[in-house]
Each structure stands twice: as C-alpha cells, then as structure tokens.
Amino acid sequence: MSQTKDFPQPNTDARVKLILTLAMIFALGFTPHGSWPAYVLFFSLVISAAVYFQLRVMMVLRRALVALPFILAALPLIFAGPPPIQQLPLAGGWSLPFSPAGAERFVSIALKSYISVQAAIILTAVTPTPDLLRALHHLRVPRTLVVILSLMAHYLVILKEEALRLLHARQSRSSRLPMPTPRPPGGSLWWRGQVTGGMAGNLLLRSLERSERVYAAMCARGYNGKPPFTQAAPLSAAQRGVIILGIAANLLILLTGILIGES
C-alpha cells in the first residue's frame, strides 16, 4: 500500500485520486451486463492512469488477479442462470446445462471485478497509506471508520514483521534441508501441514501480544481514539476541475453502457 519507488510519481492530491477512483468503481458497478464497449472504455481509463503515474502495466494486471477467487463465486451463473437453459452434449450421452444469459452475466461480473481491482491497486500504489487515510478524513468519512482503517494498516505491518520472524526461525532450524529419502525437501506433505498450522497459531498469539504492547504504548503517548490529522488546504480550482471532468467522463461511459444495454 505504499508508494512505488521505481519512478517519480506525479504530485496529485490524494483526495482527487480517491474521488476519481471511487467515481469510476461506482460507475462501473452500475453499468449493465453485456455493455462490452463501456468495459473497454473503463479498462482504457485504468491503463491510462497506470501510464500517467508511470506504473508497469503488467504489474497492475498481475496484481489484479487477486480478484480471481471472488470471481469464481459467480461461476454457477453459467449453468443455473436466467432462462433459456440449453443442454450441451458431452461424451457418454451426458449433457451439461448452459445459460447464455448467465454466461454473459458471469463474464460481465468478471470484467467489472477485474477492472475495479486494477483501479484500487493503482490508487494504493501511487498514494502512501497516511495520505490516503488523511484524504478519507478530509472527505468527511466517519471518524470511526478512518480510525479502524488506520489501525488495520498499522497492525498489518506488525503482522508482516512477526511472519517474517517466524519464517527466518524456521529456515534457521534447517527445515528445508534435503533428506536422504526420495521424499521432497522439508518433509512430507502431512509434516508441512503440521508445521504451517503451528506457525499460524504461533503467529496469531505473537501478533495479539505485540498489538497489546503497541496499543499500550500509543495510550502512553496520549492516543485518545481520534485520527491525528491536521487541517487540509482547500482544493484548488484546477483540482476541482479535474474532479468534475473525471466524474463527467465516468458518467458519460455509464450512459453509453446503459444505452448499449437497452438496445
């Protein structure tokens, strides 16, 4: 969630980036199923943003594959979607139900999810986490939600540090040395599962203990549950113009998708 260090990033206010990203995700979510030209336009916006912020396009495309497990939840639409239901013949006299409308919905959901995750990845890649939280606070997002996100981002770093310590300790105990048997290095699959389960439990306990110490240290330094953000400068006329143009472009693509979907 930190800013990429490969290239210098254009200096854009975090509030502008956040508003435009949310506008695109909401517009994409309301786009009707099967509006393929609209999906192409939204995808072009995402790629243009990656190029503008000097990010590697392939990196964005690869990281967005994290949405694949959630996309598979819509897979049953292909077989049990809206009528008409066709029967696809298979070998041995078997047949498989197939819904053309369900397949269209599944592909639409997959494209929407994939493009939305790409937009979120670009936002977090070019906006440091403190700036993103500050932008949420200045946009009048409920304080409780901002505090929860701030603590979550902080504790994710702690969780990562504890996980790295456990992995280093595991490597130092030669858990992956080749064995004299034909089995793969590191023991059998059952043994690896036991070790992984023990590491997960150990990680949970160590993270809870570490988080309690961190929270006690925060309270000792005067933490009162309020985000320590200073007052932000108002958006300039140019920044407001960028927001208006960006929202208008997304609404125009949404309108195009609605017209295509109704035709």
**pLDDT digits 0-9 by tens, 104-126:** 889 999 999 999 999 999 998 88
Question: Model confidence at 23, in pLDDT bands (50, 70, 90)?
Answer: very high
pLDDT in tens, 165-185: 877 877 776 555 455 555 555
pTM of the model: 0.75
Asked, for residue 70, whether it belongs to a domain, the answer is: yes
Q: Is residue 162 part of a domain?
A: yes
64 and 127 co-located in one domain? yes
In a shared domain, residues 199 and 161: yes
Query: Is 151 found in the same domain as 126?
Result: no
- Is 58 inside any structural domain? yes
Question: 3-state class of 100 per DSSP?
Answer: helix
Which residues 6+ apart lie within 8 Å of 128 measured at CB?
A: 1, 2, 3
Together in a domain, 42 and 113 = yes
d(CA 171, CA 36): 49
- 32 and 147 inside one domain: no
Cα–Cα distance for residue pair 9/12, rounded to 1 Å:
8
d(CA 5, CA 75): 38
Q: What's the pLDDT tens digit per position in 187-230? A: 567 766 777 777 788 788 877 887 788 888 878 887 777 766 66
Q: What residue numbers bound the domain in which 79 lies?
A: 14-88+96-139+240-262
Q: What integer pLDDT is reported at residue 173 of this predicted model?
A: 67
How much is the pLDDT for 40? 93
Range scoring the smallest mean pLDDT among 5-14, 18-27, 150-159: 5-14
Q: Could you tell me if 203 and 244 lie in one domain? A: no
In a domain, 102, yes or no: yes
Residue 129 and residue 35 share a domain:
yes
What is the pLDDT, as a whole number, of residue 6?
44
Torsion sign over Cα 96, 101, 106, 110 = positive
Judgement on whether residues 41 and 156 belong to the same structural domain of the protein: no
Q: Is residue 152 part of a domain?
A: yes
| Same-domain check for residues 129 and 252 | yes
- The per-residue pLDDT for 223 is 75
Give how many domains the chain has, as a whole number.
2
Do 159 and 249 reside in the same domain of the chain?
A: no
Q: Does the pLDDT of residue 5 top 50, yes or no? A: no
Residues 100 and 163 both lie in one domain: no
25: number of Cβ within 10 Å: 19
Does residue 170 share a domain with residue 207? yes
Q: What is the CA radius of gyration of the chain?
A: 24
Mean per-residue pLDDT, 24-45: 92
- For residue range 40-80, list pLDDT tens digits in order: 999 999 999 999 888 899 999 999 888 888 888 888 888 87
Domain assignment present for 147: yes
**Is 60 part of a structural domain of the chain?**
yes
Mean pLDDT for 223-247 is: 81
- From residue 80, how far is each of 18, 24, 68 by CA, in Å? 37, 30, 20
What is the pLDDT, as a whole number, of residue 188? 66
User: Which tens digit of pLDDT belongs to each residue from 81-112?
Assistant: 778 877 777 777 677 787 888 888 899 999 99
Task: Identify whether 180 is part of a domain.
Answer: no
pLDDT reported for residue 7: 40
**CA angle, 181 as apex, 177 and 182 as ends, to 5°?**
100
